[in-house]
Copies of this chain bind each other. A is one copy, B any other.
Amino acid sequence: MRDPAFPGTAMAYHPFHAPRPADFPMSAFLAAAQPSFFPALALPPAALAKPMPDPGLAGAAEAGLHVSALGHHHQAAHLRSLKSLEPEEEVEDDPKVTLEAKELWDQFHKLGTEMVITKSGRRMFPPFKVRVSGLDKKAKYILLMDIVAADDCRYKFHNSRWMVAGKADPEMPKRMYIHPDSPATGEQWMAKPVAFHKLKLTNNISDKHGFTILNSMHKYQPRFHIVRANDILKLPYSTFRTYVFPETDFIAVTAYQNDKITQLKIDNNPFAKGFRDTGNGRREKRKQLSLPSLRMYEEPCKPDRDGGESDASSCEPSAVRDALHSPVGALPSPLRLKGSGREEKLGADSDAEVEKAPEERPVATSPGGEDATPRGSPRCPDERSKERRSPEKAKDGASPREGPGEGLFGTRGLEKDKVEGRRKEPEPGKKDAEGGGLGKEAFAPLMVHTDSPPHLSAGHLQSLALSGLHGQQFFSPLGAGQPLFIHPGQFAMAPGAFSAMGMGHLLASVTGGGSLENGALSSAPGTAGTATPFPFHLSQHMLASQGIPMPTFGGLFPYPYTYMAAAAAAASAMPATSAAAAGPLSRNPFLGSSRPRLRFSPYQLPVTIPPSTNLLTTGLPASLNPGSEGSKAGSSRESSPLPDVPLHKGGSQRPAASPKGSLKESLNELQNIQRLVSGLESQRELSPGRESPK
């Protein structure tokens, strides 16, 4: 919808023949990037809509099996996976993604979703689960998800509402969580909802399990990605189709702030059943704490579960549950006053892609009551925000958001690329329960898809290249049936330029011990437009400051440091818009031969190829991280959840887990630079145990 030239169907942008900037206007690329990266958004990506088969790839064999002599089509489809490097010329897909349990998410969203983060790692509660359709049945896909900062604000829950409490703290590198079933055929993925419950959140910056490290009291936005690739090794060369569900954003907390959220969790999370007011007598404390005042609407108690004897608080729970099960879900959202952020100021830094954002997406409902939580805007008021916003403590959506851009990138700028009708609840006028001020656009019912060409956001690109920096010990020692993590290293650069090159990027195995943590810092998506050159050496420094090992360039991909540095330098010199023009190259430095060919194109100099063997072959399953830890008799593969994780073992430059405080400080320096680049998220690695819990 946003851009008519932008086919709603996700026509993958294929990074073939990189040296053909003309074919890759970058529009697609930028679409999914930060708000500030949308200047070229209007460019017709049609040129790239159809993947171009790479003539030089036909003969390559995958996994040692080669069947080039066969005819294609049905048989070919089945054999597709056999041909590793063969371009998916014939693959025709148009992925549709819907969020599972949308109703429940909406319930939380209306109240301002909170996710507890703990040292030991915490799952997300409304489980992030999506249903995918429209994939090529036989083609292989890798599905991933990550969680990025939604803005650059720090929040505090005051007077029963969330308020901005200053500028965001530096973000730790974010991990790209590869669904453990990856790669799998479209048919397999579409068979049933794809869940990401194994992804855990933590506030432990020294986490060695591969969990996603978040800052407490900061807002985050989960993202889902679809990549058509039959091997994880190809991720760096592949097209990412990103989908963002605004209703899944949340504020990370170490302890629940909003009692209503707590109640919602208790009422819907089976593991918290013990805290439900089932009338069995136990658990009554929290019950009435603050709910009476906070709960706005009185829903007819539905004693459908746990008997019926429920007190005031028990009523809501059942309602919530119903919402989860009912097709329409969402009763007139309880206590959801006008959100803030409605009056986004499109001015200044948000480039040129903002115009629609305000319309399409109601800037996310504000968390607290009707408070002014900068949901939809990526940028936060910094410290000044406090001044400006402090007054709005009352309850109107007042001066909610100054951030003109959308959320990280999907939250705002991309949302229309593909608006899939959610199952229901699409009624735009769905009460005013939503964000008051933002009520204008049907917020919840609209699903934002950052797929189509735009998927190659800066953040993505980051995670596509530079992996060469890592590579050493991607796989953690624990490896039992766990997912992989990609660590798109963060490299602050000229907006879009360097970052677009895909610097930084880590693939880590499932289990804990992964060591290789590369990529640089995470990015604060909010600010953009301000091009701040970010010399490569700086990024290296950043990595080091984070305790992220800078392998002797033992990354996965044959991407020489030197090249990247040069590119970065060049990119840094380019204006934001020019960065877009440099698209093809920026996007993926490996595009030289277009496919993962490895025919050593100019961009694929075999120089300084990293030693890491981990990511190579198959990928996922091979997620054991021996390195440090040595042979710990205690835990054995397949039974170790992820306790004994060496992290950083192999990396020589790894300063050892840096203390939280100091690290934060060092990160702060870069934070500023990163903010300017927007959309850049760094990644880490490691991973939880692959197999079963024990």
Q: A191 touches which one: B81, B481, B629 (CB < 8 A)?
A: B629
Q: Complex formed: what's the CA distance from A639 to B483 in Å? A: 13
Residues on B with beta carbons closer than 8 Å to the beta carbon of A637: 179, 181, 189, 191-195
Q: Given A609-B75, A617-B140, A621-B621, A596 and B197 touching (CB < 8 A)?
A: no
- CB <8 Å contact, B66 and A597: yes
Q: A618 touches which one: B480, B599, B619, B635 (CB < 8 A)?
A: B619
- CB <8 Å contact, B475 and A184: yes
- CB <8 Å contact, B181 and A621: yes
Q: Is A74 an interface residue (CB 8 A)?
A: yes
- CB <8 Å contact, A78 and B188: no
- CB <8 Å contact, A626 and B181: no
Q: Which of A215-260 contact B (CB under 8 A)?
A: 230-234, 237
Using an 8 Å CB-CB cutoff, how does the interface string of A616-638 with B read, 1 for contact, 0 for none?
Answer: 11111111111101111111111
- Min CB distance A441 to B, Å, is 29
Q: A613 touches which one: B138, B197, B557, B625 (CB < 8 A)?
A: B138
- CB <8 Å contact, B195 and A636: yes
- CB <8 Å contact, A640 and B192: yes
**Which of A57-65, A366-374, A656-664 is near enough to bind chain B?**
A57-65
- CB <8 Å contact, B480 and A598: no
**Which of A23-31, A289-297, A516-524, A686-694 is near enough to bind chain B?**
A686-694
- Min CB distance A150 to B, Å, is 24
Residues on B with beta carbons closer than 8 Å to the beta carbon of A133: 631
Q: Is A488 an interface residue (CB 8 A)?
A: no
Q: A477 touches which one: B192, B599, B613, B618 (CB < 8 A)?
A: B192
Q: Complex formed: what's the CA distance from A635 to B629 in Å? A: 36
Q: Complex formed: what's the CA distance from A475 to B185 in Å? A: 9
- CB <8 Å contact, A631 and B600: no
Residues on B with beta carbons closer than 8 Å to the beta carbon of A595: 64
Q: Complex formed: what's the CA distance from A481 to B80 in Å? A: 24
Interface centre among A69, A131, A557 (most CB of B within 10 A): A69
Q: Is A182 an interface residue (CB 8 A)?
A: yes
Q: Given A179-B638, A185-B613, A193 and B64 touching (CB < 8 A)?
A: no
Q: Is A510 an interface residue (CB 8 A)?
A: yes
Q: Complex formed: what's the CA distance from A196 to B638 in Å? A: 7
Q: Is A314 an interface residue (CB 8 A)?
A: no
- CB <8 Å contact, A621 and B182: yes
Q: Complex formed: what's the CA distance from A189 to B631 in Å? A: 9
Q: Complex formed: what's the CA distance from A479 to B481 in Å? A: 9
- CB <8 Å contact, A185 and B230: no
Q: Which of A633-691 contact B (CB under 8 A)?
A: 633-640, 644, 690-691
Closest B residue by C-beta to A649: B191
Q: Is the interface of A mostly helix, strand, loop or mixed?
A: loop
Q: Is A12 an interface residue (CB 8 A)?
A: no
- Min CB distance A496 to B, Å, is 26
Q: Is A565 an interface residue (CB 8 A)?
A: no
Q: Complex formed: what's the CA distance from A637 to B141 in Å? A: 14
Closest B residue by C-beta to A605: B69
Q: Complex formed: what's the CA distance from A550 to B85 in Å? A: 29
Residues on B with beta carbons closer than 8 Å to the beta carbon of A230: 616-618
Q: Complex formed: what's the CA distance from A79 to B233 in Å? A: 12
- CB <8 Å contact, A632 and B191: yes
Q: Is A84 an interface residue (CB 8 A)?
A: yes
Q: Complex formed: what's the CA distance from A640 to B595 in Å? A: 35
- Min CB distance A561 to B, Å, is 15
Q: Is A107 an interface residue (CB 8 A)?
A: no
- CB <8 Å contact, A180 and B596: no
- CB <8 Å contact, B183 and A618: yes
Q: A74 touches which one: B139, B197, B611, B617 (CB < 8 A)?
A: B611
Q: Complex formed: what's the CA distance from A294 to B353 in Å? A: 82
Residues on B with beta carbons closer than 8 Å to the beta carbon of A619: 63, 618, 621
Q: Given A180-B480, A554-B78, A613-B185, A64 and B597 touching (CB < 8 A)?
A: yes
Residues on B with beta carbons closer than 8 Å to the beta carbon of A633: 192-193
Q: A692 touches which one: B181, B187, B198, B617 (CB < 8 A)?
A: B198
- CB <8 Å contact, B598 and A180: no
Interface centre among A556, A595, A616, A620 (most CB of B within 10 A): A616
- CB <8 Å contact, B195 and A638: yes
Q: List 6 A-B contacts (CB under 8 A).
A: A66-B597, A82-B616, A189-B637, A192-B632, A192-B635, A195-B639
| A-B CB proximity, top 5 nearest | A481-B481, A78-B611, A81-B616, A64-B596, A191-B626
Seed contacts A81-B615, A191-B626, A620-B620; 20 additional CB < 8 Å A-B pairs: A61-B61, A61-B84, A63-B619, A70-B609, A78-B611, A78-B613, A79-B613, A80-B613, A138-B613, A180-B479, A181-B623, A181-B637, A184-B479, A189-B626, A192-B477, A192-B631, A192-B636, A192-B637, A198-B638, A693-B693
